[in-house]
């Protein structure tokens, strides 16, 4: 099953066709729209998938002579709330372009006083507290072309790629911005922020940061045998870690804007530090373990 890409909006709707995709990339970045502003030779394309359209067009360009595809997670203008993002289409679209390694920066709240605004934390664990999101490709439901996925159970014991985490940490160090190596990201449904009781409970579990988009991105990436790395930027102390009035949307936007240039620099250096797709030797590359998903990976 292949997808078709086009530079013309709506030009292709037959995702089952066997036409080759001329556009290609090896690394994907799912994040805000500002991250592709400094790419070289940018091309905007649209990709059709069996799961509907991704959040937006994909922007292809080069960083350190490596082909990169950027995808605005919430769409341009931030019009998609976390629970309405088409995560399956996003990951599928990236893989269909040749992407095998994905960096997923996101804004989070700190659950400990030491993880204050401006902290960069590269998590090594994930807790899913979402409610209504489709979190698998292996649901046994027919796709539009009649293909029926098998029910396959994939391990997510270690949800993030070790090579990707290493590259992200290496890129962040030495910038007067020492990253936090490891921690647990708990993902809530959103779009509202946590109640103080919920936040205190998250804190009591020993979790590190709370966000709204880290799941099901990591799980879907693993099902597609993609290497996935999360880079979390703390924009606020969550309600249970501070004594004020709680989190505000305005506060989140202000802190993110103040740190976006630094985060962009880390992402660009991480792209350069990632292994080539041919050199990948982590468990992500064989997550299915030879099991038949019932469809052809793009």
Half-sphere exposure of 8 (CA within 13 A, CB side): 4
Averaged pLDDT score across all residues of the chain? 88
Domain boundaries, the chain: 5-286
CATH assignment of 5-286, among 3.40.50.1580, 3.10.180.10, 3.60.15.10, 3.40.50.2300: 3.40.50.1580
Read off the pLDDT band of 273 (50, 70, 90): very high
Q: Is 236 tagged catalytic?
A: yes
pLDDT at 113: 92
- DSSP string covering 38-73: T-EEEEEEEE--TT---SS-EEEEEETTEEEEEEET
pLDDT at 111: 96
Q: Is 261 tagged catalytic?
A: no
Coil/strand/helix, residue 96: helix
pLDDT above 50 for 120: yes
pLDDT above 70 for 2: no
Backbone angles phi, psi at 58, to 5 degrees: -100, 145
* Helices assigned H by DSSP within 100-247: 162-172, 196-204, 214-223
pLDDT above 50 for 7: no
Q: Of the residues 56, 128, 238, 269, which is catalytic?
A: 238
pLDDT at 260: 81
Q: Which pTM value belongs to this model?
A: 0.89
Q: What is the average per-residue pLDDT within 262-283?
A: 93
Q: Of the residues 236, 261, 269, 281, which is catalytic?
A: 236
pLDDT at 233: 93
pLDDT at 143: 93
């Amino acid at each position: 099953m292949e997808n078709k890409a086009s530079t013309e909006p709506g030009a292709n709707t037959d995702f089952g066709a066997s036409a080759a995709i001329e556009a290609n990339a090896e690394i994907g970045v799912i994040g805000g729209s500002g991250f592709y502003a400094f790419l070289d030779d940018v091309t905007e394309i649209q990709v059709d998938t069996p799961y509907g359209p991704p959040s937006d067009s994909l922007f292809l360009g080069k960083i350190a002579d490596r082909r990169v595809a950027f995808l605005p997670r919430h769409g341009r203008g931030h019009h998609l709330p976390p629970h309405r993002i088409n995560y399956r289409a996003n990951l599928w679209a990236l893989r269909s372009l040749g992407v095998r390694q994905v960096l997923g920066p996101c804004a989070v709240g700190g659950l400990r006083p030491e993880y204050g605004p401006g902290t960069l934390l590269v998590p090594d664990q994930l807790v899913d507290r979402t409610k209504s999101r489709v979190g698998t490709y292996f649901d046994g439901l027919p796709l539009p072309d009649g293909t029926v996925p098998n029910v396959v159970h994939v391990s997510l014991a270690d949800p993030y790629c070790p090579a990707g985490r290493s590259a992200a940490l290496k890129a962040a160090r030495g910038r007067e911005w020492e990253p936090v190596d490891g921690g647990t990201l708990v993902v809530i449904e959103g779009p509202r922020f946590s109640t103080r009781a919920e936040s205190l409970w998250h804190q009591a579990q020993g979790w590190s940061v709370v966000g709204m988009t880290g799941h099901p991105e990591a799980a879907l990436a693993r099902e597609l045998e993609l290497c996935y790395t999360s880079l979390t930027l703390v924009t606020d102390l969550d309600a249970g870690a501070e004594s004020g009035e709680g989190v505000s949307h305005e506060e989140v936007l202000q802190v993110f804007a103040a740190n976006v240039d630094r985060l962009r620099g880390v992402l660009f250096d991480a792209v350069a530090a990632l292994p080539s797709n041919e050199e990948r030797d982590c468990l992500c590359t064989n997550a299915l373990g030879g099991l038949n998903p019932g469809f052809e990976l793009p």
